[in-house]
Amino acid sequence: MTLPAGHPLSDGLTATSPLVRAMRGDRPDTRPVWFMRQAGRSLPEYRAAREGTEMLDACLTPDLAAEITLQPVRRHGVDAAVYFSDIVVPVLLSGVGVRIAPGRGPVIDEPVRTAADVLKLRPVDPSAFAPIREAVGIVVAELGSTPLIAFGGAPYTLASYLVEGGPSKDQLRTRALMVSDPHTWATLLNWCADVTGAFLRAQVEAGASVAQLFDSWMGTLSRRDYQRRVLPHSRRAFDALRGTDVPRVHFGLGTGEVLDLLPLTGADVIGVDWRLPLDAAVERLGTPLPIQGNIDPAYLFAPWDLLAAHARDVMQRGEAAPAHVVNLGHGVPPETDPDVLTRLVALVHEER
Amino acid sequence: MTLPAGHPLSDGLTATSPLVRAMRGDRPDTRPVWFMRQAGRSLPEYRAAREGTEMLDACLTPDLAAEITLQPVRRHGVDAAVYFSDIVVPVLLSGVGVRIAPGRGPVIDEPVRTAADVLKLRPVDPSAFAPIREAVGIVVAELGSTPLIAFGGAPYTLASYLVEGGPSKDQLRTRALMVSDPHTWATLLNWCADVTGAFLRAQVEAGASVAQLFDSWMGTLSRRDYQRRVLPHSRRAFDALRGTDVPRVHFGLGTGEVLDLLPLTGADVIGVDWRLPLDAAVERLGTPLPIQGNIDPAYLFAPWDLLAAHARDVMQRGEAAPAHVVNLGHGVPPETDPDVLTRLVALVHEER
């Protein structure tokens, strides 16, 4: 797969943006910054736009998903948009019954727990992604030279929702399936990789210039289990982007023990949560890759001077990497004052 | 404080038990084993005994709390009882409004989020622990030479409940208070340390031979924040046991980054979760202390041969420590088949 004609990246529209340059290891004049979960509940314009619409309906309504994706770019002046969606959207588009329970998260109608359950999962029909492609088209037309980041959940996190039936604290049933029935596990994770890979590919083909794979829950795995039973499937998800040269970002929570393994997924950029200082993360990573992160979201609720000092410290430690994309160490908390984020973007852009 | 006359430890009743010997660095003939959360929902006799009684009422009814504490010792033949309670019990006994919401966990009537809220917290009156002392008395009378482990929540985890108002995913409000207002934070954590320290002391004075401090949520902290803003308060909690020589166990989830710091709390034994193999944990710990753990609870749902092989691997890696107390890497999941636990105890006892 090569990028279609008119794609913002191959056309050179976004290729010289600070974000794409940094993700390719360059050091642009201003350090790029965006925020995970920047499109969402922290913004009053998001709450107004979403009013009366269910989460998954919003994700599948092109005009609305595009509008929500664009809102934080207009407001904060961040260096990228990230596609507004939910990691279960491709699961839904594959025919699995799922809804988002407010205040709880995704709930699966029939959890997937046995070999028979896994066999019932069907491959996703690429045409099901039509609303996604349409929304991405609207977004990139407005963004111009600002890149759009495609969004997808990593196979382990996706599988956790399917097996647990919803959010869970330590993914016990999921890990039980993993250690009890490796064959069924591999089949399930391959399915998840293909589904999320197709989701990322649809976004990239329609105009996204970067792809990020989120593995929110990998921190509950031992290093050995991650390496043997999860990592190969994350690589398979990224492999769906073969032939395109969009930078691939991999982010997970609690990855301190496995940072050196993450480049084996095929990631070009490694996102780091708030737990580990970036200079330590760069050292553990070993491979000289650009790094993304890792302002502690707790500081968003601190007096400005403390947040500013913390952000500067993060930027200084980020110097240890070949290149640094500033971000939070986790998603924007819904209760964040959006003005604080706008001010933070200005600080990052002024810093050098 | 020295242990009162008639205390099972000073009387020599429990001092030669495999558990206490191992916790003092000795290697008894059989390796001791117990399970965190062994008293609780996995046992049908627990569900029968608790029926119709609210969780916190059960904790404060001496006969019932004693019965529940003893059930897993009778059934599984584990090498210790762990006192049945909840980490918010001493908070409740200090006059803070709290209840346990079924399926959710502790809910605080008025969350503690400001300096004024913290100032309203009152010191706990030791006489409030009378029902705890009474329950412990009943337990140790029946246990004889089997030691009872006192149970308490560490200041950070306790403070998290107080600040968040209930269970939370990443303790964001708690960490926001920590980074925003260090003085209020220190006052709050000292209060938590004193309350949980008094709770542990009451159990030890009444007959417990070991004390364990649980810090379920410390894994959301960076190493720096743990070291500066949490560890000193965990030490203060253990300091409440000064003058007794009961072994002190410290357990937390996600402690891989700070294992070398944990002995600074004054702990004599370090509990390790399922993420890190015990031989790696011993190496990181640096200090030659006995270790406790760390069978992955996910294996409790695997075919027996896989669980047995995993348990033997844990025991072999535990050889790297001066002594090893076998346990899970987290609490017993409520849906565990209790027969699997009984069989696991037999395996550990037969192994050497």
Cα dihedral angle (B222, B223, B228, B234), rounded to 10 degrees? 100
A235-246 residue pLDDT tens: 999 999 999 999
Is residue A28 within 8 angstroms of chain B, CB to CB?
no
Minimal CA–CA distance to A32: which of A349, A350, A352?
A: A349
pLDDT digits (tens, 9 = 90+) for B199-246: 999 999 999 999 999 999 999 999 999 999 999 999 999 999 999 999
User: pLDDT at residue B351 above 90?
Assistant: no
pLDDT at A11 over 90: no
Say if the Cβ atoms of A296 and B224 lie within 8 Å.
Answer: no
Of B170, B180, B274, the CB nearest to A306: B180
ipTM of this complex: 0.94
List the single residue in A176, A223, A298 with the smallest CB-CB distance to B302: A176
- Partners of A277 on chain B (C-beta within 8 Å) are 222, 224
Residues of A in contact with B172 (CB under 8 A): 297-298, 301, 333
Å between B276 CA and nearest CA of chain A: 6
Within a domain: B304 = yes
Task: Provide the b/e sequence for A306-326 (b: ≥16 CB within 10 Å).
Answer: ebbebbeebbebbebbebbbb
> CA-CA distance, B56 to A61, in Å (whole number)?
48
pLDDT digits (tens, 9 = 90+) for B10-42: 888 999 999 999 999 999 999 999 999 999 999
Domain presence at residue A51: yes
The answer to whether the CB atoms of B222 and A254 lie below 8 A apart is no
pLDDT of res. A4:
87
Residue A1 pLDDT grade (very low, low, confident, very high; cuts 50, 70, 90): low
Q: Check whether B352 has a pLDDT greater than 70.
A: no
Task: Tell me which residue of A41, A34, A51 sits closest to A86, measured CA to CA.
Answer: A41
- Return the exposure string of B125-148: e unless at least 16 CB atoms fall within 10 Å of the residue's CB, then b: eeebbebbbbbbebbbeebeebbb
Which CATH number does the domain housing residue B180 bear? 3.20.20.210
At B255-268, the pLDDT tens digits run: 999 999 999 999 99
Cβ–Cβ below 8 Å for B224 and A297? no
Is there a domain that residue B153 lies in?
Answer: yes
Residue A351, chain B, CB below 8 Å: the answer is no
Q: Smallest Cβ distance to A172: which of B176, B277, B298?
A: B298
Report d(CA A241, CA A231) in Å as an integer.
16
Q: What is the pLDDT of residues A183-214, one digit of tens each?
A: 999 999 999 999 999 999 999 999 999 999 99
Q: Exposure pattern of A219-255 as b/e (b: 16+ CB <10 Å)?
A: bbbbbebbeebbbbbbbbbbebbeebebbbbbbbbbb
Q: Are A275 and A240 in contact (CB under 8 A)?
A: no
**pLDDT reading at B147 higher than 80:** yes
Q: Is residue B8 part of a domain?
A: no
Place of tokens 């990246």: A9
Contact B285, B259 (CB under 8 A): yes
First to last CA, chain A: 37
Q: Touching check for A257 and chain B: CB below 8 Å?
A: yes
Mean pLDDT, rounded, for B283-298: 97
Q: Among A41, A160, A171, A180, which would you mutate to test the B interface (most chain B Cβ atoms within 10 Å of its Cβ)?
A: A180
Minimal C-alpha gap between B9 and chain A (Å): 36
Residue A190, domain extent: 18-350
CB nearest to A179's CB, from B275, B298, B333: B298
The three-state secondary structure class of B118 is helix
Residue of A nearest to B169 (CA): A169
Question: Given an 8 Å threshold on Cβ–Cβ distance, is B257 in contact with A277?
Answer: no
**Residue B85, in any domain of the structure:** yes
Could you tell me if residue B48 is inside a domain? Answer: yes
Searching chain B, which residue's CA lies closest to the CA of residue A218?
B275
CB pair distance less than 8 Å for B298 and A257: no
> How many structural domains is chain A composed of?
1
CA dihedral for A193, A194, A200, A204, sign (positive or negative):
positive
Cα gap A65→A148, rounded to integer Å: 13
Cis peptide before A294 (omega within 30 of 0): yes
* Residue A352 confidence class, pLDDT cut points 50, 70, 90: low
Q: Residue B76: which pLDDT band, with cuts at 50, 70 and 90?
A: very high
Please answer yes or no on whether B175 and A296 come within 8 Å at the CB atom.
yes
Number of H-type helices and E-type strands within chain B: 15, 9
Percentage with pLDDT > 70 across chain B: 99
User: For chain B, what percent of residues have pLDDT higher than 90?
Assistant: 94
Q: Which residues contact B192 (CB under 8 A, 6 or more apart)?
A: B155, B156, B158, B159, B162, B233, B237
> What residue ranges in chain A does DSSP mark as E strands?
81-82, 98-101, 105-108, 148-153, 210-215, 248-252, 269-271, 291-295, 324-328
Per-residue pLDDT reduced to its tens digit, A219-272: 999 999 999 999 999 999 999 999 999 999 999 999 999 999 999 999 999 999
Does position B1 have pLDDT exceeding 70, yes or no? no
Name residue B251's beta-bridge partners. Answer: B214, B271
Domain membership flag for residue A13: no
Could you say which of B179, B221, B303 has the minimum Cβ distance to residue A180?
Answer: B303
